[in-house]
Structure formats: structure tokens, C-alpha cells
Structure 1
Amino acid sequence: MRIEKKEIHEKWIEYTLTNDVGMSVSVLDLGGIITKIMVPDRDGNIENVVLGYRNYEDYQANPNYFGAIIGRVAGRIQGASFNLNGETYKLAANDGENHLHGGPRGLHQLVWEASTFESDEEVGLTLSHRSVDLDSGYPGNVEIKVTYTLNNQNQLILDYAAKSDQTTPLTLTNHSYFNLSGNLKNTVHNHQVTIDSSKFVELDSNLIPTGMLLNVSETSFDFRSGRALEEGFNNDFEQNKVAGSGYDHYFIFDNAQEHQANLLDPDSGRVMLVNTNEPGMVMYTSNTMEEGLKLAEGSSRKHLGVCFETQASPASLHHEGFPTVILNAGEDYNKQTIFTFLIED
């Protein structure tokens, strides 16, 4: 196990966590951005399985949120406002009339305080930040810690901890784009996805939840037994078309299977298992990604990666029946997501 530190343009530090069995994860103190995850394929080739920029300067703006911690609230908040305890809070509108991923000055653009730890079995990085009252319009002073742990079972464990002195919305996630083909050799069309979910959130033409939960049965959103992502890319189902020929939807977990989700690339043999105590996740398949961005291993294009954004639902701020994002004053926020990388037998 080891940790390496690299200074980036005298502004940021990139920490690379390496285990004893050939996996490594690189993370910037800027936005907690995961820049690389290096894992072997079935032939032992160790390659990167997340999207990242070729030039580190591009992480400063990072409009695609590559690899970043997202918050205070991940996802879209309708009308860039919400009501809480009789008060109306106005947020920055950075997605048309709506508020997206914590706004233009969200957690993804901050330099976090960093500390590392190491043992015989794991190596890790803890990032800390204090978000002050009315930061981006949200109430409460919130102490946040996000910990990345890599162990010898090729598990990347993300632990999110927070506490606020006022009741406030909070749901944090990581916005890595996974592509298990390795070094962006292919798009994710042939990636097989399984999601333990029988219901997903309906979106309108602005990708805002309508307040309706839809049953996945007999639709391209039924991933309970696994299916290729391209089945949704090429589907005439209205919800696939709304998202730009793909997925950008919140799935509520049934918690009936061993894993909440998994991802398989049949060509490389790489598998990623997802376990979390979050109530659901947004699966986004880079439907609107612009072409020609200079990425570490090539140029960006549509459907080049898939995000598994484990979180609660910001739709709960405007509709009943959705997993709440409200954190009560003084309450401990403790969420965990584990990404386990394996090789298909």
C-alpha cells in the first residue's frame, strides 16, 4: 500500500492511492475529483476506467463535473428555490431556471483540506470543508468530510459525513463517469447494467421530476435482470428521448438483491459492483456530452461514460413520496458507497 503526492500547477495536489494487487485511484484536492481509476482487465492489462481531462487546467471549470464531489444537493432543484420551515430559499439558477449540482460555486470547485492515512490493509484520503450559512443560498453552517479508502479487495469506499447547525437540504455524491473498456477504447453501448430497482422518477422536457414514479416493467428502464445500455440509447420510449437518447434518471432501490447496481464490460471482462446505504441513484449516460474535449486517452463523444450517482432525491423538496434530502439540525449525515472492481469468470 502506498500514497503518492503530486503538485499540479502550484495550485492543487493530486493524491494517488495504490494497493498491493495492482489497483490505484488518483484524487485531486480540487473538488475531490477522481482523475483516474486504474484496474486490470481479464488479461492483466491495467487501464483507466473513468473519464478525465488531458490538461489539469480544464478541471477548474469542469462543466461535466468529471469525477467530482457534488453538493450541497446533487441533481436539479426545480425553480432554483425551495420552502423549508416556512421560509423560501432562493438558489443560483445555473441550468436554465433551475439549480444544478450545488450551483455555479458548488463543492466541485473548492479546494478541500486533505489528510491521508495508511495501514497494511488499506490506504486513504480524507477531505474536509466547512460550508457556511447561506453558501450558494442554502441555510446552515455544514461541516463536511469525504473519505476515499482503497483496500486490497479492489474496493474503493466513499464515506460521506456531515453535520449542520440548521435544518437544511443535503445529499452528496460522486460524479465519476465509468467506462470499463479501459482507456476509452469504446463507448458504453455494450456495457451491461443491473439495477435493483422497480421504480424510477419521470422527467419533463427540462429534466425536472414531474412528481410521478414510473414502474420499470416492460420498459427499457428495467435493469433488474441486466441489459445493455444501448437498448435505451436506441429506444423510442419517451423517457429515453427526453434524456437525449439515454438515461438521466433517478432509480429508487428495492434492496432485494445483494448489490444495488453493477456494471459489466463483456469485452474487457471488468465488473464494477455498487453497494450503498443511499435510497437510490441517478444513472446518467453522457447523452449531452459535447464532442472534442481533450480527455486523457482521447476525445469526448456521446455515450462515452456512465455515472452512478448514489444519493437521495432533490424532487423531495417539491413532491411527496421521494427519498428526502433534508438533514435536521444537529443530526449526523453518514452515507457510504462502495465500488468493487472484479474480473468476470
Structure 2
Amino acid sequence: MSVEKAVFGTLPDGREAALYTLRARSGMTLVTTPYGCRIIRLLVPDRLGRLGDVILGHRTLEEYFGADYHGAFIGRYANRIGGAQFVLDGKTYSLPANDGANTLHGGPGGYHQVLWEASVQEEGDEPSITYTYESPDGEEGFPGSLKLQVTYTLKKDNTLSLEYTGTSDQATPFNPTNHAFFNLSGDHQKEVLSTWLQLNAEETTTVSDGLIPDGNIVSTLGGPLDFTAGKELGKDMFADDHLIQLCGGFDHNLCIKGEGFRQFGEAWDPDSCRAMEIWSDLPGVQLYTFNSVDEGILGKDGLPMKPHTAFCLETQFYPDSVHHENFPFQYLQPGQPFTTRTEYRFSVKK
């Protein structure tokens, strides 16, 4: 077990961004940077015990600048807020619109572009790193000074644990997630059509063509979003469904059954035999299959990134919950910390 620190690059304002490498005794390795609390690499063993990087990303710090969410911690509010505004305690808060008329992933200056403070914990068998940041009142239009803590831990059983804590001095919406792009094969040029996915979800939130929920929750059973029994992602990724066709694949919030910390589901790559269980205490998960990529964007292999070479499972409160009282969501209250945890548990299934 060890932690190493190196220089990743320099921000436009001259500040230096580090790169931290955490290694567990099992060989599982996490590479992360304080710039956006990003997961840069995650090395886990395949069926032959060979370590492979299961996270898409880039080679340089500069490639992560701007609206690039690869591996980043997302906030203050993950996913979308319709109309780029919300009303809280009778006051309307206007947010920057960076997704048509809507706010996406906390706005253009969200936490994916913040250089966080880092603190490493090396004692014991489970190395971890904690990032902290105080988001000022009014940042990206959100109310309240919000103290944030993000901790990544490599646990002994090949598990990556992600824990987020927020404490505010005013009521404010808080919907954190991580935007890791997974490819369990370890080959970042390989499409994930053969990746098998099972999710404990029987419902989804219906949305407009702008992916803003209309407040309705409907059954997925028997349709292209039914992953209850498990199936290959490619089976229904291009189904004759209006939203799937519009998105070019999956980009859907699925409502996970149950409450509390529980298993959301499992993904499995048949070639490498890497399996990944998803556990969280949040109510939903956004399944996104990397449906489009801008021309000229390069991956860590130096090759152009290609669509459908990754899938995201972003644990979350439902999108646009600030506008739908029937969605499971509560505003962060002054002086009352909120903590949530998500785990990605890796194994080999032959």
C-alpha cells in the first residue's frame, strides 16, 4: 500500500495541479487529481490477473479544461435544472444556462473546474485521499456558503469508495455525483455494446427532448430500459424509441428500488471477465453510453475518442428535483451536514 505524488500540470492562472497515485495491496490502483477531484485512472485486474485501466480520460491536464466531465466530481447540482432557475423559500435563484435553456452539472463553472485542497491518508490497509473546497455563497447562482469534502478510498476487497459531505450556512440544493466513464475491457477504443448490465430499477423519470423531467415516473418493465434481468448494453441501445433515437443511445435516469445503502446493480465485460457492482444510498442513477464525442478529442491512448466506448453510472437524486415535489429530494439545511456514499466493487467472473 502506497501513495505517490507528482506534478500533473499548471492551470491558466499559474497554480500547479498534482497527480496522486494510490495503490492497494491487491494491486488495485487509483490515480486522481485535485483539479475537479478527477479520477484519472483506475487499474483493476482481469481474469488473468492483469491490471487494466477501466476509466476513459486524457493524457494531459489541459485536455480536461472547460466542459469536460471525465472522471470529475459534479456539483453543486448534478444533471439538469430546467429553465436554469429554481424557487427556494419564496426567492427565485437564476443560474447560468449551459445546456440550451437549462443548467447542466452545476453550470459552466461547476466543481469540475475547481482546484481542491488535498489530504492523503496512508495508514492501514486502505489508502484514501480527501479533497476539500468551500463553495462561496452565490457561486454559479446557488445560495449559501457550502463546505465540501470528497473522499476516495481503496478498500481491501478491490472496492473504490466515494464519500461526499456538504455543510451549508443557508438552505441550498445539493446533488453530488462522479462522472466516471467506464470501459471494463480496459481497451478504450472498444465499444461497450457487449458489456452486460443489470440494474435493480423498474421505473424511470420521463423527460422532454431537452432531457428535463416532466414529473412523471413510469415503468420500464418489458421495454428497452428494462435491465432487471440483465442484458448486453447493445441489445436495446439503438431501439426504436424516441428518446433513445434522439440521444443516440442511453441517457436516462433510472429509479433504483429500495432505500438506504444498497446494491444498484452490476456490470460485466465478457472478454476481460471484470465485473463491477454499484452500491449507493441515493435514489437514482443516470445511465449514459457516451453517445457523442467532439471531433479531435483524444483519449489516454493518444487516439481520438469514439462514441459508445464507455458507460456512465452516475448515482444521483433525480434530475430537476427542485421542480418536482414527488421526487425523493431534500434541500441541504443550514448547519445540517449531508453525507452520501457510492461504491464500485470489482471482481472477476468467468
Both proteins in one fold, TM over 0.5? yes
Gaps of 5+ in 2: 11-15
Q: Which letter does structure 2 place at the counterpart of 1:88?
A: T
2:160 is aligned to 156
Q: How do 1:239-254 residues align onto structure 2 when only pairs under 5 Å count?
A: 239-242=243-246, 244-254=247-257
Contact 1:5/1:14 (8 A) holds in 2: yes
Q: Which runs of 4+ in 1 moved over 4 A?
A: none
Query: Counterpart in 2 of 1:304?
Result: 309
SS in 2 for 1:58: helix
The reply to whether residue 94 of structure 1 matches residue 98 of structure 2 is: yes
1: CA distance, partners of 2:189 / 2:52: 10
Mapped contact 2:201–2:255 kept (Cα < 8 A): yes
SS at match of 2:320: helix
Alignment partners' CA distance in 1, 2:245 and 2:189: 26
Aligned length: 343
- The amino acid that maps onto 2:9 is H
- Aligned pairs for 1:277-296 (under 5 A) are 277-296=281-300
What's the CA shift string for 1:282-318, capped at 9, x where partnerless?
1111112234421012321111111111111232211
* In the alignment, structure 1 residue 50 sits paired with structure 2 residue 23: no
Which is further off, 92-101 or 9-18?
9-18
Task: Point out the more displaced range, 228-237 or 135-144.
Answer: 228-237
Could you list the per-position Cα deviations for residues 34-86 of structure 1 after superposition, in whole angstroms to 9, with x for gaps in the alignment?
0100111101221110101122211122x240000000000010000001110
Which residue identity is paired with 2:79? G
Query: Equivalent residue of 1:222, what SS?
Result: coil
- Aligned pair 1:320/2:334, yes or no? no
Q: Percent identity?
A: 37
State the shift of 1:128 in Å. Answer: 0.1
- 8 Å CA contact retained: 1:314, 1:325: no
The separation in 2 between residues aligned to 1:288 and 1:95, in whole angstroms, is 15
**Could you tell me how far 1:205 is from its partner in structure 2?**
1.1
Matches of 2:325 and 2:240, distance apart in 1: 29
For residues 1-345 of structure 1, the aligned pairs below 5 Å read 1-10=1-10, 11-61=16-66, 63-242=67-246, 244-255=247-258, 259-297=263-301, 298-345=303-350
**Alignment-mate amino acid for residue 4 of structure 1:** E
Unpaired runs of at least 5, structure 1: none
TM-score norm. by structure 1 comes to 0.96
Match of 1:149, SS state, is strand
How far off is 1:200 after superposition?
0.7
Query: Normalised by the size of structure 2, how large is the TM-score?
Result: 0.95
Distance 1:190 1:209 in 2: 29
Q: What RMSD in Å do the two structures reach over aligned CA positions?
A: 1.5
